[in-house]
Amino acid sequence: MTAAPMNLSRLIEIAKTVKMSESQKAEQRNSFVFGNTRIENESITWEQVEEVGRLLDRQERGCGGD
């Protein structure tokens, strides 16, 4: 059974080298937010999460949106 931990360790090392694009990062963020928020609030929609994500992106770039 020692092969499994070695394979997992190798996969972790490979994952550390992955460079995600900005759109991939946003998609990952939205997926995380949606999944975690949905646990507490079943009325949340994917569209709501995407809209808030876009607002945050604009604010980070200094494009207003307040």
* SS3 state of residue 55: helix
37 within domain boundaries:
yes
Closest to 45 (Cα-Cα) out of 36, 54, 53, 34:
34
What is the tens place of the pLDDT at every residue in 12-34?
999 999 999 999 999 999 999 99
How many domains does one find in the chain?
1
Domain-embedded: residue 57: yes
Close Cβ partners of 53 (under 8 Å, ≥ 6 residues apart): 26, 29, 30, 33
pTM: 0.68
Give the tens place of pLDDT for each residue, 41-64: 999 999 999 999 999 988 988 876
More confident residue, 6 or 22: 22
Residue 65 counted as domain residue: yes
Residue 10 lies in a domain: no
Tokens 């394979």 -> residue: 7
Report residue 66's pLDDT band, with 50, 70 and 90 as the boundaries: low
Distance of alpha carbon 17 from alpha carbon 25, whole angstroms? 15
Task: Tell me if 54 is assigned to some domain.
Answer: yes
Domain that holds residue 46: 18-66
